[in-house]
Amino acid sequence: MDRTTLLTVVVVVLAGLAGCTSDVPTATPAPVPSPSFGASFDGPLPPGATAAGIDNRSALVDAHTASTNRTDGRITINRTVRRVDGGEALLSRTQTTVDFEADPARINFSQRQRSNGVYPNQTIDAYYSERDRFARITDENGSYFDRITETTVGEYRTQTAAYEVYNALGVGQWVPSERTTVGDSDAVVFRLTDVADTLDNATGAMAVTPDGAIRRLTLRTVTDGRAVRVQYRYDTFDDRPVDPPGWLAAAREAE
């Protein structure tokens, strides 16, 4: 597998992988809303959702990615994997930050992965624009640059916005429980109830605006003796340019 192919796999699969602040619903619902509670929920709901829960995750994810396409913003994701049987131990931690500008379309991506022998310890920085799509990969062997040819800036922004939330919506039934605000936006809090049979356990909560922007998501799943915790945060800005990274000139020269 050449470096370009490896990079594509790492960026596309892991990028859709932070932290949440105190205004974010916690991952443990208390109490967990019953289906009848959700069915009595009144007021506007985001695309793909009814009072009984989210019944069309594709519609919600499409609305979420549409939001990222029309505004400047940042997606931050923290993912941790722990062993929970035979003594708890941290296996890996991945921290991802994606800054994006709507016009002109530009993205700065940064991912730091540290692992206890499960995945390679590495840092990936990437820059996407209509002119340039480069990455800088740093691992135990040093740093090198690579040009990204398979994914356009628009495709990458959509993949990054959609990957993690689409998977999270598939782990069980998400039911509306209450209303809240995230920054200056109204939002509906959905909590995870019925969990897929493939999981031993899962808890989760997310805050979604009426137009479908998933502003906060916290999910913890347990299966096969491992617990995976994901914290996803999406913030928007009126005007926040994405500047080219300082290493871009060196990446161009290295081609």
**Rounded CA separation 32/155 (Å):** 37
Under DSSP, is residue 163 helix (H, G, I), strand (E, B) or coil? helix
Under DSSP, is residue 249 helix (H, G, I), strand (E, B) or coil? helix
Q: Which domains does the chain have, with CATH numbers?
A: 3-253 (2.50.20)
Higher pLDDT, 50 or 116: 50
**Rounded CA separation 205/168 (Å):** 10
pLDDT tens by residue, 165-182 = 999 999 999 999 999 999
Q: Residue 212's pLDDT is what?
A: 96
Residues 46, 209 contacting (CB under 8 angstroms): yes
* Partners of 145 in the β-ladder: 136
- Rounded to an integer, the average pLDDT of 124-148 is 93
**Residue in the structure block whose two tokens are 């628009």:** 154
pTM of the entire predicted model = 0.81
pLDDT tens by residue, 11-66 = 443 343 333 333 333 333 434 444 334 455 778 899 999 999 999 999 999 999 99
* Poorest-pLDDT segment among 35-49, 95-109, 238-252: 35-49
pLDDT at residue 110 is higher than 70: yes
Banded pLDDT at 118 (limits 50, 70, 90): low
Under DSSP, is residue 50 helix (H, G, I), strand (E, B) or coil? strand
Phi, psi of 211 (to 5 degrees): -85, 0
Q: Residue 52's pLDDT is what?
A: 92
- Rounded to an integer, the average pLDDT of 68-77 is 91
Under DSSP, is residue 230 helix (H, G, I), strand (E, B) or coil? strand
Phi, psi of 55 (to 5 degrees): -110, 0
Written as six digits, the tokens of 228 are 């995976």
